[in-house]
Structure 1
């Protein structure tokens, strides 16, 4: 009887692990999609700004690269956190 009780506790305890894996996958996907949308909007806005003021293209380009790198860093951090949830 006690063996059955231990098996039942183990099976109930592992249900949360499956939900954590699903949550980690969804979180990593949302981080990647959000970063892609953000970097795309930065690129579009930078091209628009360069078209309006071609003489400021160097400053706009450098600001665009810095902003894109910051967004990419945050997205990478979010994916790493999701991977830690998944494997730890």
Structure 2
């Protein structure tokens, strides 16, 4: 009976874990994109002639981070709503 209680407690706390995971993913993506922006601004300040190349790389990298974050948030929401 103790094993069954442990399993039921784990299943009932799964939505909380999903919500925490989605929140951590969103926070991580925000920090990552902020660091990308900071580095891009510093790079453009050092080499203004390469601004268009730096800006393109920055946007592409930020899009990749947003994509990963989106998958993590969807997985967290699926865990919460299941």
Measured against the shorter chain, the TM-score band is 0.7 to 0.9
TM-score of the superposed pair, with normalisation by structure 1 = 0.82
| Structure number with higher relative contact order (C-alpha < 8 Å, ≥ 6 residues apart) | 2
> Would you identify which runs of 4 or more consecutive aligned residues in structure 1 move more than 4 Å?
none
Unpaired stretches in structure 1, ≥5 consecutive residues: 1-8
Aligned residues: 78
TM-score of the superposed pair, with normalisation by structure 2 = 0.87
Deviates more, 1:13-22 or 1:57-66: 13-22
> In the alignment, what sits opposite 2:22?
28
Unpaired stretches in structure 2, ≥5 consecutive residues: none
CA RMSD of the aligned region, Å? Answer: 1.3
Q: Does 1:82 align with 2:65?
A: no
